[in-house]
Amino acid sequence: MRSVGVEEELLLVDSESGEPRALSTALLATASREALRDDADEVFEEELHREQLEFATRPHVAMRDIAEEIRGWRAEAARHAEGVGGSVVALATSPLPVSPSIGFGERHRWLGEKFGLTAQEQLTGGCHVHVSVESDEEGVAILDRIQPWLSVLLAMSANSPFWQGKDSHYASYRSQVWGRWPSAGPVGVFGSPERYHEQVRDLLGTGVLRDEGMIYFDARLSHRYPTVEIRVADVCLDPSTTVLLATLARGLVETASRDWNKGEPPSRHSVALLRMAAWHAGRYGLEHELMHPLTMRPAPAGTVVRALLDHVRDALDGSGDLVLARDGISALLVGGNGARVQRELWERTGSFRDVVTECVRRTQG
């Protein structure tokens, strides 16, 4: 069975005001000292902005192990943040106004100078799911076949309705901000690993991108691990939604691999249509229609999400995850994603501070 790993980007906020705070340097120093003392691996990493923190799970086969590790590292992040006067919250953008602080690292400074306001405003939190593959040939065949379904994962994860103290009128405004990077977004069919690597080389050859880490496709071959890395999602408020995304991502990868081995060709939707589907998913989340991946025509969100479940049903049945995915989807459609939760909190309290406070509590499930 394919292994799965998850990366989450969390927001660091003031414990009292809920405003983002540049606490990552102090927090990482404390976490590093503890890891050294305990002879343990360092799990937490800095991000582009000092108001953020990232962690990555180990690769796992059982989803219960992914769930346990995500909750564990969120709790550890919260403990470390409390030690430096802050809190962590799984929000993909800050509801409260913020002037983000670029990190001190040389790479982050380069990004700030090269991309100006685009980099300065990139205080956004994503969730990346790595699924193991056997080879680049298999990986590219999978990338070619999962593209139409990625917008559905974005809609399910949407958790960024507010931006700089205002309602963005998007479910995932993070997806709009992230799309400002020149290499971000959906891609077309590659057809072979040679064509994939040729396109990566061409992008790097322009001099616009610093390195392969800036290949910000919605899904890509990881340049560090033998995985397909699905990068389209917002960081999820509830850890159970993250586990659901990881479950469906593995189902998509396995289904695509089986289709490739059977000789079934990928869909030939244009990049323009894929971009339209991604925009629609970011705009409405699960509250309206989505573009159906098979037809690229509007359909009720619940219908499209269940179509995703049907698409990966055999793979989920084989991994023993079908009930987990089915129940998770039902709960998400009833209870809503992070965007709906945030808007309901705002409508009830009228206070972005209260929204953040409650989301801090929900971050650990």
pLDDT band of residue 129 (cuts 50, 70, 90) is very high
CA 59 to each of CA 41, 132, 227, 310, 357: distance values in angstroms, whole numbers, following the listed order:
14, 9, 10, 26, 31
CA 247 to each of CA 191, 231, 361: distance values in angstroms, whole numbers, following the listed order:
26, 14, 24
Q: What sign for the dihedral angle of Cα 330, 334, 335, 336? A: positive
Q: Report which of residues 37 and 98 the model is more confident about.
A: 98
Amino acid at 11: L
Angle at 121 between CA 7 and CA 274, to 5 degrees: 65
Averaged pLDDT of the chain: 97
Task: Express each pLDDT in 201-219 by its tens digit.
Answer: 999 999 999 999 999 999 9
Task: Express each pLDDT in 133-187 by its tens digit.
Answer: 999 999 999 999 999 999 999 999 999 999 999 999 999 999 999 999 999 999 9
- Has residue 39 got a pLDDT over 80? no
Longest dimension (CA), the chain: 57
Quick one: what percent of the chain has pLDDT higher than 90? 97
pLDDT of res. 40:
82
| Domains by residue range for the chain, with CATH | 4-357 (3.30.590.20)
pLDDT of res. 2:
97
The stretch 79-95 carries a mean pLDDT of: 97
Continuous H helices in 86-229: 106-115, 117-120, 136-146, 150-157, 173-178, 193-205
- Has residue 365 got a pLDDT over 90? no
What are 299's strand-pairing partners? 290
Decide: pTM greater than 0.95: yes
Q: φ and ψ at 338, to 5 degrees?
A: -60, -35
The stretch 292-308 carries a mean pLDDT of: 97
As a whole number of angstroms, the distance between CA 266 and CA 282 comes to 24
